[in-house]
Amino acid sequence: MAAVARGRGRGRGGFGIPNPGKPGEKADQQTDISSENSSNEFDLTRVLNDLRENNLDTQVEKISQHITQSSSSTKLKDVVDLLIQQTIKKSYFAPLAARAANKLCSDESFGNAFRGDLMKTTQEKYKKRESIRANSTSEWIGLACFICELFHHLRTGDSPIRVLAAAVHQTMSELLSSEGQTSNTDEELEGDEIDCFYDNFKAVGSLLETVNKEKVEELLGRMRDTILADDSSAKTRCLLLELLELHAGHWAIPSKVEDYFSDKLADIMASES
């Protein structure tokens, strides 16, 4: 229904995890980053750019071999940095990036060290989300998507990383707080934070509720308040009402109800165009 969005954040604080240990590039900058971070025989940027649903295992294996064979003392952090860079610049990359990260964290030879670098670097970005949001709405959206998708896919055994739940809740609260705000930059992306909230609540809301039901109840209350707010747009009300229906149906929504909201949103978008 709503596209994965791009877009602004506020607040400080980390995940509350102990330390274990770059902002991104656009398409026209990838050659420079590739030359800085890749050896002659291995182009990490290209491997990540080529990452798809149908070749995930193959591409992750290439990265694993590179990490195992590289003599660089920063090889793990180089992979983590570029993985996060790519996602911050391209929010739609977040699900694949998180799944790749989970596979790398599971590697017997370097998985624990990789997880440490991944969590540390993500926490550093999370702490800087206020400045990231102020400078670029789209990069803030990319970071928000990555945090939510890490929570969605990253596992210790069969369990989610519970320490990420607070970061997901705070991130989603800040996405929801964007309604009615304006920005000095990225004005063409105004409102995309609501799209991002919609997509990520559908993706991780159920999991978040199993980890911390109170956090989801708080988000539901914020959603109701936003729906009733005078300055909320018709699109925002439509998206949030659908999410309330989704939760009321125990994370399932009848096809007729889904079709109703889809048609309603189409009418709203048509009237605004």
- Is there a domain that residue 36 lies in? no
Sequence-separated (6 or more) residues with CB below 8 Å from residue 260: none
Q: Among 110, 133, 154, which residue terminates a domain?
A: 154
Residues 125 and 207 in one domain: no
Provide the percentage of residues in the chain whose pLDDT is more than 70: 81
In a domain, 34, yes or no: no
- Name the nearest CA neighbour of 76 among 103, 113, 39, 109: 113
pLDDT of res. 48: 94
Q: Does residue 29 fall inside a structural domain? A: no
Domain boundary among 154, 176, 197: 154
Same domain, 133 and 226: no
Number of domains present in the structure of the chain: 2
Asked if pLDDT for residue 219 goes beyond 70, the answer is yes
- 150 and 228 share one domain: no
Q: What is the mean predicted confidence (pLDDT) over 5-12?
A: 42
Q: In CATH, what number is assigned to the domain containing residue 87?
A: 1.25.40.180
Query: Rounded to a whole number, what is the distance in angstroms from the first to the last CA of the chain?
Result: 17
pLDDT band at 70 (very low <50, low <70, confident <90, very high): confident
For residues 199 and 149, state if they share a domain.
no
Domain containing 110: what range? 44-154
* C-beta of residue 150 within 8 angstroms of C-beta of residue 164: yes
13 within domain boundaries: no
Burial of 143 from C-beta contacts in 10 A (0-12 / 13-18 / 19+): buried
Is residue 144 domain-shared with residue 177, that is, in the same domain? Answer: no
State which of 154, 182, 202 marks the end of a domain.
154
Phi, psi dihedrals of residue 247, rounded to the nearest 5° = -65, -40
pTM for the full predicted model? 0.81
Note the maximum CA span of the chain: 59
pLDDT tens digits, one per residue of 22-44:
444 444 444 444 434 444 468 99
